[in-house]
Amino acid sequence: MSTRLPKLVAFDLDYTLWDFWVDTHVHPPLRRHHVTGKVTDSQRNPKTIEFYRDVPQIMHRLQAAGVMIAACSRTDAPSLAREALDLILIPPRTGSDSSAKPIPAIKFFDQLEIYPSSKIRHFKKLHEKTGIPYDEMLFFDDEWRNQEVEELGVTFTLVSNGLNDQILEKGLEEWRKRHPVQVIEDVVGADGTLI
């Protein structure tokens, strides 16, 4: 079984990495508690701003493997989404040095395409900025309509109830199935030269 990974993995934000719509469920300003690190908004009953449980280790895994990570969101509140990514702290990787400190989530993202627009536009911008072919991109999103990116050659994976390890593996498996490693075997002629 192949363990090959795409060169770029992109994630929608709302209901893919976190359980809310940042432009309607979250009210600025956001705050990070100086002791707990917990991020909340300014509502009377503050909403906790955090990723789904498996997301931090998924980010560590992809980053350690050298995969480029992108956020692609069509939110109407791009600055608030960026602020949330800047304030959310991702704990050190499991099994890492005990002196390791949490890292702002935004540092895990190599590319941010966060603005109201079609996901097609987001991926065209990613391709333009990175030079990565569409067939080397995998995208996770909670909205079926965003499957439109497959027209470009991007592999799309629907996220029904937030990103988790099983959804990640399902997406990777589908991407590998569509893009198997092609091995070119050397053919040697009778005289010992490559044909």
Q: What residue has token string 């079609």?
A: 118
- Count the Cβ atoms, other than its own, within 10 Å of residue 11: 23
- What's the rounded Cα separation, in Å, for the pair 75 and 187? 53
Which one-letter DSSP state was computed for residue 98? T
Residue type, position 50, single letter? E
* Cβ pair 189, 179 in contact under 8 A: no
**In the annotation, is 12 catalytic?**
yes
Q: Which of 14, 76, 165, 186 is catalytic?
A: 14
Residues 101 and 89: their CA atoms lie apart, in Å, by: 9
> Which neighbouring-strand residues pair with 32?
39
**Is 14 known to be catalytic?**
yes
Sheet holding 137-141, edge to edge: 111-114, 68-73, 8-11, 137-141, 155-158
What is the rounded distance in angstroms from the CA atom of residue 112 to the CA atom of residue 125? 10
Burial of 121 (0-12, 13-18, 19+ CB in 10 A): middle
Catalytic residue numbers read 12, 14
